[in-house]
Structure 1
Amino acid sequence: MHTLTFKLSLIATALISSSSAFAEKTIAERIVVSGSRFEQKLEDVTGSVTVITGEDIDRQLAVDLQGMFKYDPSISTTGSGGQGQTLTVRGVGGNRVVFIKDGRRTNDGYAGGSGYLVGRGYFDVAGIKQVEVAKGAASSLYGSDALGGIVVITTKDPSDYLNSGSSFAEFGLGYQGDSEQVAVDFSAAKQLTDNFAASVVLSHREGEEVQNYSETLPGYDTESTALLMKLQQRIDDKRTLKYTLDLFKQDTTQVITPKVQETDDTDSNYAFAIDYNSALKTTWYDRFQGHASFSRYEQKSQQISDATNYTDFNDYRFEQAILGLRAVFNKEISTQQHQHGLVYGADIDLYDTTRPRFKTRLLADGSTDFENQKQKAFPGADTTLVGLFVQDNITFINSNWSLVAGLRYDYYTLAAKSDALYADTQLNDIDESALSPKLGAIYQVNNNLSFYGQYGRGFKIPPHDQAYQSHGVEPFYQILANADLNPEKSDSFELGMRYSNDDVNFSLSVFHASYKDFIETATVGSEPTFIPGVNKTFYQYQNISETGIRGIEMNFAAHLTDSLLLETSIAYADGENKETDQPLTSISPLNGALLLSQEFNDFVFTGAWRVAKSQSDVPVDMNGQKTTQGQGYGVLDLYASVELQQWRVNIGLSNVFDKHYVLYELIAGQSQDADFSQYSQPGRNFAAHISYQF
């Protein structure tokens, strides 16, 4: 990092600076649901939770997961500009982090090629109330996939819009310079009768790819539309019903050479949900939440690939339907010595997954070689997840101690669908169970200072694409199915402290997690082929890795004056594969963020400085040579906002000094001599959003 750039960034950050609402929310207590599946104060959670509010999303002009977690150094993202996205939390990501949106599980991510063909980011940010990321194992409450953490996305209800009136409407226009995206969004809510209220959020976006620094990446066009409709019914003072319709569709078109190399992707999902909430006290519970939902996710990829003597027309799809049922009960029990906050319930999730792939080949003379020929990948699968859980939040009367103890039992089955294409493949059903305990403690020194500790067990069932994948390219390689895979498991420990008062909020956490039976690709054999000197290699997904990750995180926020807010966060993690003694490529280098916000009447200015050092602890390649360490960087972003009566304007300038930089997470494990220009991040770019409320 050049000294001049460093000094200019620091000076600008000190001179520039989100709204007073942002400042108040940063210091004030926050309410989360990820710690117990019922609302509780963040300070009562025995673990680290990142909270991104709707105000944060607006202020940072975020349009996807990458924008939301831009300033959280413990979370990294993949994908941007209409691509599927995933999150990596403390070095663990992909399908090892479960996503929950409005109480329902979202689609799996499917790994293929150089990334995720189907990611977890197929939703729109318009209408989001809050996003929580609980770091570390969370299977004691959420079951499979919560190996490395959970992401809980909550969208706004009609009551969130109608807290100050009987009707609400807002229209907005947005622009993102890094993807040339133009967005239109509309939100409205209405109190229909004394017992019914409705809301609707409609968003439409059109843009392009997010380019690298030198703008040399192949281009594509993307367009998305999202619709979120909710109807709240008030049965009486204690009971409510909520009906939700959630739709999302995105089209991405890339033409490298017309009729020679083209790709047209359509990603869509829709969900219906009914939620029942009761505060009627009974012998068995004080509050009850019931949830039923059906979701369907589809990815359609139409590809044209031209070769010397033929042209292939590929129709590749990923389809997944999820039926989810939830029952969550809460009971408060008081004795002379203890107060218990009991949470218990059951989850049922039924997955129906298919991966149809078809190919049509036209020869150079115009004749058809074959049409809609089925291609191997992995057969469809039916997955059943059934979980029973209980957690007790125990407060000791006349003591500074409180405990959290939880246990979950999960039973799951995985059965391959019958498909003649895989008649010669061994596809046994998987039928297993898992126990996930959790134990935590909080010591409250005084009203401002507390210490906590937590242990949690996580697990992830063997995914269908890895257990049943069976395909290859003759005569070069073959992937063999493996229905004997064990579930991946984790044991996560965390110690931390929190301090807060009206002006200061400080937290420090130290964590260590061990992961066993990681599922990775292994070479299991080879045999000679008819081509002299060429052997056919056999691969298979196997439980081969034992991994350890440890680290430390710090977050600090303080009102320097009534109108000046300072925030800073730092994260360091270290991880290695215990079998090979090699560092993990999923670990981010030491990095952090510093934000300074200054309010001037109705105007607010924010300077946000992102910094990272190069990663010195890197694995070696097959020749024993160290892979790339990447480079450290410091990047300054500026934001400004103003609220004038019904108008609200947010503008931002990212990468103010037009710095060339590459995220280590995108190039980890590659040769030091490789060309990383395609992974460089966008240069200076502008974003804005203007809305009018009426």
Structure 2
Amino acid sequence: MNFPSFQLTALATLLLGSGSAIAEEIIGEHIVVSGSRFEQKLEDVTGSVTVITEQDIERKLAVDLQTMFRYDPSISSTGSGSAAQTLSIRGVGGNRVVFIKDGRRTNDGYAGGDGYLVGRSYFDVAGIKQVEVAKGAASSLYGSDALGGIVVITTKDPSDYLLNENSFAQVALGYQGQSNQMSVDITAAKDLGDLGVSAVYSHRDSEEVQNFTDNLPGYDAKSDSLLVKLEQQLDEQRTLKYTLDYFNQTTEQVITKGRQETEDENTNWSLALDYDSKAATAAFDQWHWQVSFSRYEQQSDQISATAAHTDYNDYRFEQDILGLRAVFNKKIALQDATHNVVYGADVDIYDTTRPRYKTRLLADGKVDFTAQKQKAFPGADTSLVGVFMQDNIKFANSAWSLIAGVRFDYYSLAAKNDDLYSDAELDDITESAFSPKLGMIYQVNDNLSWYGQYVRGFKIPPHDQAYQSHGVEPFYQILPNADLAPESSDSYELGMRFSGNDINVTLSAFYAAYDDFIDVAIAGVEPTFIPNVNKTFYQYQNISETQISGVEASMLMHVSDDVLLEANVAYVEGENKETDEPLTSISPLNGSIQLTTALGDIDWTAAWRFAKSQSDVVRDASGDKTTQGYGYGIVDLYASYEWQTWQLNVGVINLLDKKYVPFELIAGQSQGADFSQYTQPGRNFSARVSYQF
């Protein structure tokens, strides 16, 4: 592995050569909600949490999940630009990570090939205040789906914009070179006495994210988003908030006009009513409830032609979610200890459908069939009900703190009646589980603390895996499996945090054992009428045990008054204990280093992200090792300039124009395969300029 360390050194020397003082940077305290479902300091949370702020998004010119977490080595992504995206946290991803936006669950996804999870990541970064990623199981607070972690997205309220002002307005124009994206964001807020109003509108025009040689099939994409919030102050202690969140994206790809075309449209909208009260009672000091309704609709219209016929496909995925939740906080001060108790309940009701239709036109112009229903998986009605409690205990005259919590979840899944699946066994599934959590913090002194935690994770079988029932005759068939057991995990983490005047350091080691991990397996093989061709039956089944472990380290330090250094590194390994084979979802040793300084009024950041090749890889059917990937080092450069109410951010990504392939995109493939389609874009430029009225 050849890291371009000499190039990074030269670049850093150029940036740090000036004697200008960097704009004052404060290593501050993040306030998070992911660790306890109420606001607390990050230092009071057991377990690792990544925080991406609004300023991080602006300075690094992030436009989606992939660009948002580019410098976090423990979080990897598949998909980029307008394509379906998903996150993997410490090697666990897909629907095992739950997304929470402004308190409500976002829509499910379904397997779409190449590890992508179609149906998620369709939201805009405009208006985001903060994104938190809790690494590892969070089922004790957030319930099923949170087996691998949670992504908590918080958008700005009217009060965040106004800050004792009567009005706020901002216009931002942006360009992102990775996808040739042009964007405009318009934000406005107004104080109307007891009512605060804010609206954020964003429009984006973009293209496909190309590989290094620019030879992937192209497409055009457009998106529009609108986030409207109203904050009503009922009195000094009670607030109502109304939210409308809308996102629409269309992509069009034409490979051969009239023969190979695809048009996808994804629409996601939600309405929410939130109530907050600080009127204390004997049972709680403050409480919050929310009722929300979300609708997600995906429609994919495809034209696929052969010499004999042309197929017109209408594929859809639709999901409605009704959510109800209540969260209560109570602080109890006793002689020996202070208890911060959070408890509450969540109810989420899903209505999911997956209609697919095909119309076939023969080569002679005759219609073979019209709107014929196609198999995938039937719709499902899903109910999730959970109650939880967690107590954060600080002992008097002691350096110890204790965090103890438990959640009970009840889950039911019922397939919708559909004659298309009359020959499949689609039994209803009901499950329940307790998910406990136990954590401790030992405060050595004002600067140094140690923490440890145990968390029990729980994950319900997804509807698409339990009820998948389709195939291509006579070659393969995917069988439903109503006997799928829930996935569960026992995870442990030990860590250290040091926080000084000029430096923050975090070290952590983690281990997780997963029981009944769900993966696809061959359920049977039978001969067909074609000589030497067998029909293979696939089915999602439970794997008895899987293990993942690793270490992470991060540092944020003022090297001098002029230089801020940030460094992150992560190493993870995972194994299927049934086969003693490594997991393909594990990333190799990787990390990032960022140096920030100032030249005059301009803040500069040089960022280096690197990865090692993966030596421990799965073997193919012949017993040969699959690809180990390639190590790489990539340099990015950012600059930020503020003048009065103007702000300019620019960036050069892959400054040295290196050709590289992230291991996550090729894991499990043959060593001799052509990986050119997975190479990442070469040198590209991004910029954003904003003006505040």
Q: Same fold (TM over 0.5)?
A: yes
* Counterpart residue number, 2:25: 23
TM-aligned CA deviation for residue 164 of structure 1: 4.3
Aligned with 1:651: secondary structure? strand
Aligned with 1:16: secondary structure? helix
Aligned with 1:616: secondary structure? coil
Tell me the amino acid that sits aligned with residue 170 of structure 2: E
Flag the 1:547–1:371 CA change in 2: closer, same or farther, 3 A. same
Flag the 1:14–1:78 CA change in 2: closer, same or farther, 3 A. farther
Tell me the amino acid that sits aligned with residue 151 of structure 1: V
List per-residue Cα deviations over 1:292-312 (Å, max 9, x = no partner).
Answer: 100011110000000110000
Contact 1:22–1:56 (CA under 8 A) maintained in structure 2: no
1:190 aligns with 2:190: yes
List per-residue Cα deviations over 1:263-284 (Å, max 9, x = no partner).
Answer: 0000110000011011111010
Contact 1:315–1:359 (CA under 8 A) maintained in structure 2: yes
Inter-partner Cα distance in structure 1 for 2:2 and 2:282: 67
* Counterpart residue number, 2:303: 304
1:62 aligns with 2:65: no
Contact 1:295–1:322 (CA under 8 A) maintained in structure 2: yes
| More deviation, 232-241/536-545 | 536-545
* Counterpart residue number, 1:72: 72
Contact 2:557–2:566 (CA under 8 A) maintained in structure 1: yes
Contact 1:324–1:350 (CA under 8 A) maintained in structure 2: yes
List per-residue Cα deviations over 1:28-79 (Å, max 9, x = no partner).
Answer: 1110000000000000001100000000000000000011100000000111
* Counterpart residue number, 1:150: 150
Inter-partner Cα distance in structure 2 for 1:358 and 1:628: 38
* Counterpart residue number, 1:402: 401
TM-aligned CA deviation for residue 118 of structure 1: 1.8
Contact 2:119–2:298 (CA under 8 A) maintained in structure 1: no
| More deviation, 435-444/619-628 | 619-628
List per-residue Cα deviations over 1:365-406 (Å, max 9, x = no partner).
Answer: 001000000001110000000000000000100000000000
1:226 aligns with 2:225: yes
TM-aligned CA deviation for residue 84 of structure 1: 1.3
Tell me the amino acid that sits aligned with residue 236 of structure 2: D
Tell me the amino acid that sits aligned with residue 72 of structure 2: D
Contact 2:22–2:563 (CA under 8 A) maintained in structure 1: no
* Counterpart residue number, 1:91: 91
1:106 aligns with 2:99: no
Flag the 1:117–1:489 CA change in 2: closer, same or farther, 3 A. closer
Inter-partner Cα distance in structure 1 for 2:594 and 2:140: 35
Flag the 1:125–1:440 CA change in 2: closer, same or farther, 3 A. same
TM-aligned CA deviation for residue 501 of structure 1: 1.8
TM-aligned CA deviation for residue 16 of structure 1: 2.9
Inter-partner Cα distance in structure 2 for 1:672 and 1:682: 22
TM-aligned CA deviation for residue 23 of structure 1: 3.1
Tell me the amino acid that sits aligned with residue 83 of structure 1: A
Inter-partner Cα distance in structure 1 for 2:2 and 2:402: 49
Tell me the amino acid that sits aligned with residue 23 of structure 1: E
Tell me the amino acid that sits aligned with residue 220 of structure 1: Y
Tell me the amino acid that sits aligned with residue 25 of structure 2: A
TM-aligned CA deviation for residue 502 of structure 1: 2.1
Q: TM-score, normalised by structure 2?
A: 0.98
- The alignment of Structure 1 onto Structure 2 pairs a total of residues equal to 689
Inter-partner Cα distance in structure 2 for 1:620 and 1:329: 50
Flag the 1:546–1:22 CA change in 2: closer, same or farther, 3 A. farther
> In the TM superposition, what are the counterparts of 1:490-505 in structure 2 within 5 Å?
490-505=489-504
List per-residue Cα deviations over 1:176-232 (Å, max 9, x = no partner).
Answer: 111111001101110012x10000000000010010001110000000000000000
* Counterpart residue number, 1:584: 583
* Counterpart residue number, 2:537: 538
TM-aligned CA deviation for residue 144 of structure 1: 0.3
Inter-partner Cα distance in structure 2 for 1:53 and 1:473: 47
Flag the 1:119–1:568 CA change in 2: closer, same or farther, 3 A. farther
Flag the 1:448–1:287 CA change in 2: closer, same or farther, 3 A. same
List per-residue Cα deviations over 1:597-633 (Å, max 9, x = no partner).
Answer: 0134532000000011111111111111111111100
Contact 1:563–1:600 (CA under 8 A) maintained in structure 2: no
* Counterpart residue number, 1:181: 181
Contact 1:13–1:609 (CA under 8 A) maintained in structure 2: no
TM-aligned CA deviation for residue 363 of structure 1: 0.2
* Counterpart residue number, 1:419: 418
| More deviation, 597-606/613-622 | 597-606
TM-aligned CA deviation for residue 425 of structure 1: 1.2
Flag the 1:445–1:15 CA change in 2: closer, same or farther, 3 A. farther
Aligned with 1:56: secondary structure? helix
Inter-partner Cα distance in structure 1 for 2:235 and 2:87: 40
Inter-partner Cα distance in structure 1 for 2:257 and 2:615: 44
Contact 1:118–1:299 (CA under 8 A) maintained in structure 2: no
Note the aligned Cα RMSD (angstroms): 1.2
Inter-partner Cα distance in structure 1 for 2:273 and 2:599: 44
Inter-partner Cα distance in structure 2 for 1:2 and 1:418: 58
Inter-partner Cα distance in structure 2 for 1:126 and 1:22: 26
Inter-partner Cα distance in structure 2 for 1:317 and 1:479: 19
List per-residue Cα deviations over 1:619-677 (Å, max 9, x = no partner).
Answer: 11111111111110010000001010010000000101000111001001111100000
Aligned with 1:324: secondary structure? strand
* Counterpart residue number, 1:567: 566
Inter-partner Cα distance in structure 2 for 1:482 and 1:592: 40
Inter-partner Cα distance in structure 2 for 1:646 and 1:602: 14
* Counterpart residue number, 1:44: 44
Contact 1:138–1:456 (CA under 8 A) maintained in structure 2: yes
Flag the 1:257–1:545 CA change in 2: closer, same or farther, 3 A. farther
* Counterpart residue number, 1:631: 630
Contact 2:86–2:117 (CA under 8 A) maintained in structure 1: no
Q: Percent identity?
A: 68
Inter-partner Cα distance in structure 2 for 1:587 and 1:484: 28
Flag the 1:562–1:508 CA change in 2: closer, same or farther, 3 A. same
TM-aligned CA deviation for residue 114 of structure 1: 2.6
Point out where structure 1 has 5 or more consecutive residues left out of the alignment: none
List per-residue Cα deviations over 1:480-505 (Å, max 9, x = no partner).
Answer: 11111100111110000000022110
Contact 2:135–2:149 (CA under 8 A) maintained in structure 1: yes
* Counterpart residue number, 1:253: 252
Tell me the amino acid that sits aligned with residue 155 of structure 1: T
TM-aligned CA deviation for residue 563 of structure 1: 3.1
Flag the 1:39–1:22 CA change in 2: closer, same or farther, 3 A. farther
Inter-partner Cα distance in structure 2 for 1:294 and 1:170: 29
* Counterpart residue number, 2:161: 161
* Counterpart residue number, 2:353: 354
1:552 aligns with 2:551: yes
Contact 2:22–2:599 (CA under 8 A) maintained in structure 1: no
Inter-partner Cα distance in structure 1 for 2:273 and 2:670: 51
Contact 1:86–1:119 (CA under 8 A) maintained in structure 2: no
Contact 2:2–2:631 (CA under 8 A) maintained in structure 1: no
Inter-partner Cα distance in structure 2 for 1:13 and 1:389: 49
Inter-partner Cα distance in structure 2 for 1:687 and 1:241: 39
Contact 2:15–2:599 (CA under 8 A) maintained in structure 1: no
> In the TM superposition, what are the counterparts of 1:115-130 in structure 2 within 5 Å?
115-116=115-116, 118-130=118-130
Inter-partner Cα distance in structure 1 for 2:323 and 2:395: 36
Inter-partner Cα distance in structure 2 for 1:22 and 1:415: 57
Tell me the amino acid that sits aligned with residue 453 of structure 1: G
Contact 2:497–2:507 (CA under 8 A) maintained in structure 1: yes
Contact 2:326–2:344 (CA under 8 A) maintained in structure 1: yes
List per-residue Cα deviations over 1:2-43 (Å, max 9, x = no partner).
Answer: 47x3311232135437x978932xx11110000000000000
Contact 2:77–2:88 (CA under 8 A) maintained in structure 1: yes
* Counterpart residue number, 1:289: 288
> In the TM superposition, what are the counterparts of 1:369-518 in structure 2 within 5 Å?
369-518=368-517
Aligned with 2:178: secondary structure? coil
